[in-house]
Amino acid sequence: MAEARLEYRLFIGGSWVPASSGRLIEVEEASTGEPLAEVPEASEADLEEAVEAAAAALPGWSGTPIEERASVLERIAEGISQRTEELATSISREVGTPIRHSRAIQVGNPLQIIAGTVEAARREPLEEEVGNVRVLREPAGVVAAITPWNYPLQQVVAKLAPALAAGCTVVLKVSEVAPLTAFTLAQIAADAGLPGGALNVLTGYGASTGERLVCHRLVDHISFTGSTRAGRRISRLAAERVTPLTMELGGKSASVLLDDAEIEKAAKFCVYNAFLNAGQTCTALTRLLVPRRLQERAVEVAAETASKLAPGDPLDEATRLGPLASSRQLERVRSYIRQGVQAGARLAAGGAEPPAGLERGFYVRPTVFADVEPEMVIAQEEIFGPVLSVIPYESEEAALRIANGTPYGLAGAVWSADQEHALDFARHMRCGTVEVNGGAFSLTAPFGGVKLSGHGREFGRYGLEEFLVPKSLQL
């Protein structure tokens, strides 16, 4: 079969098996819209087999010494590293991430996540004495992991690594938009010595395969990353069995430039952050809040910076802005741009029209809006594309109200020449992560949100704790 029509199978109980439904899902290439591969649509019978395989593998894997589990994870990391180019190319073709970013972030971040998880697993005690009580920290059990398409390898590893380190087994349902790296990862895990059934990989749609998995009687914990709409649905389904949830949902993050901030540096940073992965990032700083008197300079810098990010072929080493992941996402982003114009926001760069010469594929022009009012749709809803809203404010109190004035609370940023002043402002922002003066994002610090951005945390020991259940032995 030609490369453009690669076919895959489900990974269940350590074996590659065809879907009993016989149905296939077509995966498109982001830069052309042409078929890239076909993946199986798991049936209810396939799902039952996968969950039962995970349940059967649980006693053996949970009873494996922590050092052995850590060693398996290290071998998985080694396998990922050895296949960096293959994985990065696959993600660039599926998601549209420029190849340089795919190598450094889409593949590089999972390696850091595994390293941080292994360190935490070796350091954190699984038993401790509290007065006359011996407290055990036991595996949560069978984990249903449901992941999105925007960072397909990272989001899988962020759940898989701590779950396996804790001694859990996993049934993974990956997005049908970008599923291919999950199959490569499954083979890497098997080659690393992960027992059959400890990881099972299913492909299918959220409304069928995902919902059945969430409702399964043998699932002990659900870890989900995706839209707030889907998160609400999963929460309702999980409530029927009172299944614990870890949820990382949407975001509408604000980058606040205080009155003494270095405008040029902060505005450029915000554009690069907001447009990373073509804006398909849940933590993207898509709202730039600036004092009204400084708005024109901030808009000028943002528009100039955006103009340098010309969309292009994601497999070209020179490209810094690739296409969106799907035709559905393309129409969604263009619709929001049109809404911004209709609402009266000033278009400072970009627009809803296709980039010149890139009519094929899912390309969108990098877009900057000025004079955005906080209540506008483009300032309230997650767009998930390269669209930045510059919002002027009159006072710091107003800036804080605007920053906290969306239903989301995943990430944010603040800039000031006075570090302590910036830290004080950051303490009052209602979100799980705040970058202070461009502070580097950490893959071992706790990551997660508040409000409609979800609950629970990932990365390092914080992610590991999500998959461990305390038990008290009264002595």
Distances (CA, A) of 260 to 280, 333, 345, 399, 440: 30, 33, 26, 14, 21
Instruction: Pull the structure tokens for residue 228.
Output: 């707030």
What is the DSSP pairing of strand 367-370 with strand 35-40? unpaired
Return d(Cα 49, Cα 64) in angstroms, integer: 23
Q: Rounded to an integer, what distance in angstroms lies between the CA atom of residue 261 and that of residue 6?
A: 51
In the three-class reduction of DSSP (H, G, I as helix; E, B as strand; rest coil), residue 241 is classed as: helix
Catalytic positions: 248, 282
247 with 455: CB under 8 angstroms? yes
- Residue ranges with strand state E in 340-410: 346-349, 367-370, 387-393
CB count in 10 Å sphere of residue 470:
11
- With residues binned 3-state (H G I as helix, E B as strand, rest as coil), the percentages for the chain, rounded to 5, are 45, 20, 35
Whether residue 121 contacts residue 165, with contact meaning beta carbons closer than 8 Å, is answered with yes
Report helix, strand or coil for 190. helix
What per-residue string of b and e applies to 221-232 under the rule 16 or more CB within 10 Å gives b?
Answer: bbbbbbbbebbe
Alpha helices in 344-448 (DSSP H): 377-380, 396-403, 419-427
Residue/partner pairs of 64-69 with CB below 8 Å, 24 or more apart: 64/167, 66/121, 66/122, 66/126, 66/165, 66/167, 67/122, 69/121, 69/164, 69/165, 69/167
CB 470 within 8 Å of CB 135? yes
Q: Identity (one letter) of the amino acid at 329?
A: Q
Structure tokens at 421: 């002043």
How many other β-carbons are positioned within 10 Å of the β-carbon of residue 35?
Answer: 14
Angle between helices 180-191 and 152-166 (to 10 degrees): 30
CA 233, 236, 241, 244 torsion: positive or negative?
positive
H helix runs in 141-279, sequence order: 152-166, 180-191, 211-215, 228-241, 263-275
The H-or-E segment that residue 462 falls in is helix 460-465
In degrees, rounded to 5, the angle at the alpha carbon of residue 167 between the alpha carbons of residues 164 and 170 is: 50
